[in-house]
Amino acid sequence: MRRILLGLMVMLVMSGCMNQSQTAIVKDKISNAGIIIDSTATKSAQFASMELQYHLEKITGTKIPIINDPSKVKGPRIFVGESAFTRERGYRNSDFKNQEYLVSVKGDTVILIGRDKEDFEKLDYKDYKTFPNIWDECATCYAVYDFLERLGVRWYLPTDIGITFTPSSSLFVSDMEIRRSPYMKFRRILGGEQIPDNFAGDTVKSVKVGRISDRETVLWRMRQRLGGNYIYLNHSFYAYYERFWPKRPELFASGYNEKQPPQLCYGNPETVKQVTMDAKDYFDGRKDRVELCGNIPYSDRGIKTDVFSLVPMDNRLWCKCPLCQSLVKLKAERGAGQFSNDQASEYIFSFVNKAARDIRQQYPDKYVGTVAYAAYCYPPKTLESNVIVEMCLHSRMVYAPDIMKNDKDILNAWKNAFPENFKLIWMYWCFPTEGALRQKWRCFPPFFAHHVKKYMDEFVEAGVRGIQYQPSFSYYNDKSTYTRSYLLFDQLEGYVNWKLADNPDLDADMLIDEFFSRYYGPAAEPMRQFYLLVEETFCNPANYPPGTKHQTSEIAWQNLGTEARMKTLGTFMDSAEREAFNEPFKTRVQIFKKGIWEYMKKGREGFLKQSELMIPSMQHTTAVNLQNQDPGNPLTVPWNKAGYVKLQYGDMQAGKPVRNLDFRICHDGKYLYLMYEEDNIDKDSLYVDGILWKSDEWEAFFAKQRGEPYRQVGVDSSGKYVSLNYSGTVRDNWDFKGRISSRHEGRSWKIYMAVPLDDVVEGGIVPGETLYCNLIRSGREGCLGCWIPTFAGYHAPGRFGEIYLEKKE
Partner 1 sequence: MGFIVSISFFLNLCSTDLSTMDCLFKSDFANNKKLNGWTDVHQKNPPNSEWYQIVKDSNGELYLKTREVLFGISHSLKSEIIVDDSLSEVQLLVIFRKPDLPLNGWPVTVALSSSETTAKDAGGPFWKGKDSGLLIIGSLYDKPEYNSINWQKEGVRVRMHPYRLPFNFLEVGMWVEWRLVYRHQEKSLLFFHKQNDTLPFLVQHNVDLSGTVLSSVWIGAWGTEFKEISVYVIKNK
By CB under 8 A, name the binding residues for partner 1.
Answer: 608, 611-612, 614-616, 618-622, 624, 643-646, 648, 770, 802, 804
Contact 351, 263 (CB under 8 A): no
- The amino acid present at 403, given as its one-letter code, is I
CB of 748 to partner 1, least distance (A): 18
Nearer CB in complex with partner 1: 144/803: 803
Q: What is the DSSP letter of 597?
A: I
Nearer CB in complex with partner 1: 468/770: 770
How far apart are the C-alpha atoms of 264 and 262, rounded to whole Å? 7
- The amino acid present at 21, given as its one-letter code, is S
How far apart are the C-alpha atoms of 777 and 605, rounded to whole Å? 28
Residue 602 neighbours by CB distance under 10 Å: 14
Please state at what angle helix 585-592 crosses helix 508-520, rounded to 10 degrees. 110
Nearer CB in complex with partner 1: 431/663: 663
Nearer CB in complex with partner 1: 169/660: 660
Nearer CB in complex with partner 1: 552/733: 552
Contact 619, 788 (CB under 8 A): yes
CA within 13 Å, CB half, 193 = 10
CB of 707 to partner 1, least distance (A): 14
CB of 658 to partner 1, least distance (A): 15
Is the omega angle on the peptide bond into residue 709 within 30 degrees of 0, that is, cis?
yes
Contact 557, 608 (CB under 8 A): yes
Largest pairwise CA distance in the chain: 101
Q: Would strands 671-679 and 660-667 be described as parallel, antiparallel, or unpaired?
A: antiparallel
Please state at what angle helix 508-520 crosses helix 2-14, rounded to 10 degrees. 60
CB of 615 to partner 1, least distance (A): 5
List beta partners, residue 367.
Answer: 307
How far apart are the C-alpha atoms of 757 and 768, rounded to whole Å? 12
Task: Give the angle subtended at the CA of 218 by the CAs of 212 and 224, to the nearest 5°.
Answer: 110
Q: Is 428 helix (H, G, I), strand (E, B) or coil?
A: strand
Residue 422 neighbours by CB distance under 10 Å: 22
Q: Would strands 423-428 and 464-470 be described as parallel, antiparallel, or unpaired?
A: parallel
Q: Which helix (H) or strand (E) holds 59?
A: helix 43-60
Per residue in 625-645, is it b (16+ CB within 10 Å) or e — as a string?
bbebeeebebeebebeebbeb
Nearer CB in complex with partner 1: 142/676: 676
Q: Which helix (H) or strand (E) holds 565?
A: helix 563-579
- The amino acid present at 809, given as its one-letter code, is E
Nearer CB in complex with partner 1: 274/617: 617
Q: Is 666 helix (H, G, I), strand (E, B) or coil?
A: strand
**Is 615 exposed, middle or buried (CB count within 10 Å of its CB: 0-12, 13-18, 19+)?**
exposed
Compute the radius of gyration of the chain from its Cα atoms: 30
CB of 571 to partner 1, least distance (A): 25
How far apart are the C-alpha atoms of 605 and 534, rounded to whole Å? 17
- The amino acid present at 392, given as its one-letter code, is C
DSSP labels for 776-791?
EEEETTEEEEESS--S
CA within 13 Å, CB half, 408 = 15
CB of 622 to partner 1, least distance (A): 6
Nearer CB in complex with partner 1: 505/809: 809
Residue 516 neighbours by CB distance under 10 Å: 21
DSSP labels for 262-314?
SSB-TT-HHHHHHHHHHHHHHHTTSS-HHHHH----GGGTT---SEEE----S
CB of 433 to partner 1, least distance (A): 25
How far apart are the C-alpha atoms of 470 and 427, rounded to whole Å? 6
Nearer CB in complex with partner 1: 334/604: 604
